[in-house]
Amino acid sequence: DADVTQTPRNRITKTGKRIMLECSQTKGHDRMYWYRQDPGLGLRLIYYSFDVKDINKGEISDGYSVSRQAQAKFSLSLESAIPNQTALYFCATSDLGQGVINTGELFFGEGSRLTVL
C-alpha cells in the first residue's frame, strides 16, 4: 500500500458542487501539504499544516478550505467548485518539526484529478 493515499483519484463534478479530497498517510509525519498542478504552472501550494492544531494558507488558498482531522489525515474542500479549479491535486508529507529549516524531502501521493464542468 502507498504511504500517502489520496481519494478519489479522479472526479468529475459540476460548477457549484461541494467537493472533498482526502489524504491519509502512514509515514507518521507531522507536516502535510496540499498542492495544485496545472500545465505550464508547476506546483502551487494551497494549504499546509505543521500539526493537528496548525493550519496555514499557501500561495493560492482562495476558494479552498482544509481540515486536519488527525496526524494522519488532511482533507481539502472546495465549497463551491468552479471550472478554473480543474487541476491535478497532490497531497504531500514531510517529517520535519515546526521551525526547522527544511532540508529534507516531501513524499507525494499519486494525485487526484478533478474536473469541474
Partner 1 sequence: GDSVTQMEGPVTLSEEAFLTINCTYTATGYPSLFWYVQYPGEGLQLLLKATKADDKGSNKGFEATYRKETTSFHLEKGSVQVSDSAVYFCALTSNYGGSQGNLIFGKGTKLSVKP
Q: Where do contacts with partner 1 occur on this chain (CB under 8 A)?
A: 4, 33, 40-45, 48, 56, 58, 90, 92, 96, 99-103, 105-106, 108-111
Q: Which residues contact 21 (CB under 8 A, 6 or more apart)?
A: 6, 7, 8, 11, 34, 75, 76, 77, 89, 91, 112, 114
Nearer to partner 1, 26 or 80 (CB): 26
Residue 19: CB minimum distance to partner 1, A: 20
Cell of 65: 478550505
**For residues 59 and 79, which CB has a smaller minimum distance to partner 1 in the complex?**
59
- Cβ 17 to partner 1 shortest distance, Å: 25
CB of 109 to partner 1, least distance (A): 5
Question: What DSSP character marks residue 96?
Answer: P
**All three cell numbers of 33:** 501539504
- In three-state secondary structure terms, 11 is strand
Nearer Cβ to partner 1, position 30 or 63? 30
